[in-house]
Amino acid sequence: MPYLKAKHLTEAEKKRDEKVAKSTRNLVFINEKIKFQSEEDLENYIELNFNQIFPDLVLIKRQHTINTQRCDLLCSIKSVKQPVIIELKNEEDRGLISQLTRYRKALLIEKPFAEQIDYSLPVKLIAIRLTPRSANAPIFHEDNYTDKEASKFEDDFCLWEFSIDVEQNKDIAKFNLSGKTYDIPYPIFGFPGKNLNSESYSKSLPTFAWEFNFRLDEKYKKDFQAIRNQLIAQPKIKEMVSTSYRKVLYGTGEGKNHKKLAEITNIPGKNVCLFLWLPTSVDTKSERPVERFGFVLKDASNPLSHDSVVEWLVSTKETLNNKNTPDINSEVAAYGRYGGLKWSKANLYLANVTFRYTQDLAKLEEWKRVAKTSKSKALNQVVNSYQNNPTFWLLMYVLKGVTPETITDEDRAWWESYKTQTPTHLGWYIDLAIKTWNYQINKKTIFQKKIASKMTLLLLKKFMSYMTNKDLKIFSKRDK
């Protein structure tokens, strides 16, 4: 199904969407923390409120570039015209000090805006970043502190932090810097229990999303708002609406190789459906054990409500229909030709997607012995999948923050109990899809580390195979 592009907008709609973009989707609630949706949103806010936040400074230019070196804000102190460079960060960045140092050098060589800047004075270098989520974490990456101490301009650096807070029972976010607070008049997307009223929400929608929302039955609109707020709050998410305005997709793109998070369909003559990309059962060859799942709900409840009870999960690339939806007499799970989960009872979803994993070490050793004796490649692969199942490690990471290096007996015991009583409310699956999305987007995957280690080992083996015995003796002598 084709999706709408910017070229499908009229000039009036483009201007409206630009206005909407400036006033919405600037603040998001993600990982228990409020932040700007992007670094550009942070810069926009600072620029609009610069005189209030920095009353002693003059903003000369934003995103000024000198010989490929670009700074966020080039400023000067009002009273003496001392040059000031401000770098804003919405996330952790280990190269802040070197970045500011490079721009300082470029600035002093070029010396732009000489009438507004006194270059006989030292350049003040200011880095400002969002307070880390963990109270025990350093404000800046430790590399920045090391670089600052090693720099001969150490006294010219300032490392500041800002936070975004919301007062209890109030909807206005506060930008907090150096003990002073300033209002941020933007809605907070993804904030629990904070939904805009229907009129305000409708005005906050870009044209294509507004058309999709307009075609929804009134009984679904409030729940669509709640889900959409969560989805578009996620990093690198794009909202894509079909040309028929009957489907909206959330992901990095519409293509086969793009990552996806969720899809909502509103096809005439059929029920509104929510599809989520969730962990699924795979063999060890898969680096992304994630598939698209639809939901069969109890008592035909609201398909967009977090409180709806899920009876079945169905893996499908199409819509839900009689061919791919299990009936009441179905088994608790069914698997495809290559071991992928076709459908599952909701309360056994976790157990069913990790059926290729075992914690019975005695049984695993027996399987290994049999596989080694038989010399069967297929059998060895199956045994390996029961030991190093990527779906299991993905779920342990997103649900408990556990990796193969940190897992404990207590974690394993928790899993054995939890997997047999998977929560069945739809909100739990939405939360799982969002955690899985962030896991993939942030590339904090144990798979990548394992794959990188395997690739390093493979390259080393290949390198050693090309070396002659004479080469090895030379290296051995050098080592001595």
DSSP code per residue over 404-470: TTT--HHHHHHHHHHTTS---BHHHHHHHHHHHHHHHHTT--HHHHHHHHHHHHHHHHHHHHHS-HH
The residue ranking higher by pLDDT, 149 or 195, is 149
| Residues 340, 280 contacting (CB under 8 angstroms) | yes
Residue 459 covered by a domain: no
Q: Report pLDDT digits (tens) over 188-244.
A: 776 665 555 555 555 678 999 999 999 999 999 989 988 998 888 788 889 999 999
Q: What is the rounded average pLDDT of the residues 443-461?
A: 46
| Residues 387, 364 contacting (CB under 8 angstroms) | yes
In the block, residue with structure tokens 């157990």: 351
Residue 145 covered by a domain: yes
Please tell me whether residues 275 and 418 are part of one structural domain: yes
Residue 138 covered by a domain: yes
- Which of 18-22, 105-109, 153-157 is predicted least confidently? 18-22
Q: What is the rounded average pLDDT of the residues 293-320?
A: 91
Q: Which residues contact 300 (CB under 8 A, 6 or more apart)?
A: 271
In the block, residue with structure tokens 């144990």: 446
Q: Which two tokens stand for residue 127?
A: 């880095």
pLDDT confidence of residue 196: 52
Q: What is the rounded average pLDDT of the residues 6-22?
A: 86
Residue 462's CB is within 10 A of a number of other CB atoms, namely 9
Please tell me whether residues 139 and 207 are part of one structural domain: no
Total domains in the chain come to: 2
254 pLDDT higher than 80: yes
Please tell me whether residues 154 and 207 are part of one structural domain: no
137 pLDDT higher than 80: no
Q: Report pLDDT digits (tens) over 86-127.
A: 999 888 788 888 899 999 999 999 999 999 999 999 999 999
CA dihedral over 379, 380, 386, 388, signed as positive or negative: negative
Please tell me whether residues 239 and 352 are part of one structural domain: yes
Please tell me whether residues 180 and 280 are part of one structural domain: no
User: What is the pTM assigned to this prediction?
Assistant: 0.69
Radius of gyration of the chain (CA): 27
Please tell me whether residues 289 and 428 are part of one structural domain: yes
Domain ranges, residue 280: 198-453
109 membership: H or E segment, kind and range: helix 96-110
Last residue of a domain, one of 137, 162, 184: 184
Could you give the CA distance from residue 32 to residue 95 in angstroms, rounded to a whole number?
26
Q: Which two tokens stand for residue 427?
A: 């909100």
Q: What's the chain's length in residues?
A: 480
Residue 287 covered by a domain: yes
Amino acid at 120: S
Residue (of 323, 300, 321, 322) closest to 311 by Cα position: 300
Residue (of 82, 128, 85, 129) closest to 105 by Cα position: 85
Residue 1 covered by a domain: no
Find the helix packing angle between 377-387 and 361-374, rounded to 10°: 160
Q: What is the rounded average pLDDT of the residues 377-405?
A: 72
Residue 15 covered by a domain: no
Residue 458 covered by a domain: no
Q: Which residues contact 289 (CB under 8 A, 6 or more apart)?
A: 279, 280, 281, 282, 390, 391, 394
The confidence band for 455, taking pLDDT boundaries of 50, 70 and 90, is very low
| Residues 355, 340 contacting (CB under 8 angstroms) | no
- Which of 217-226, 302-311, 354-363 is predicted least confidently? 354-363
Please tell me whether residues 256 and 341 are part of one structural domain: yes
Please tell me whether residues 118 and 143 are part of one structural domain: yes
Please tell me whether residues 34 and 94 are part of one structural domain: yes
CATH classification at residue 118: 3.40.1350.10
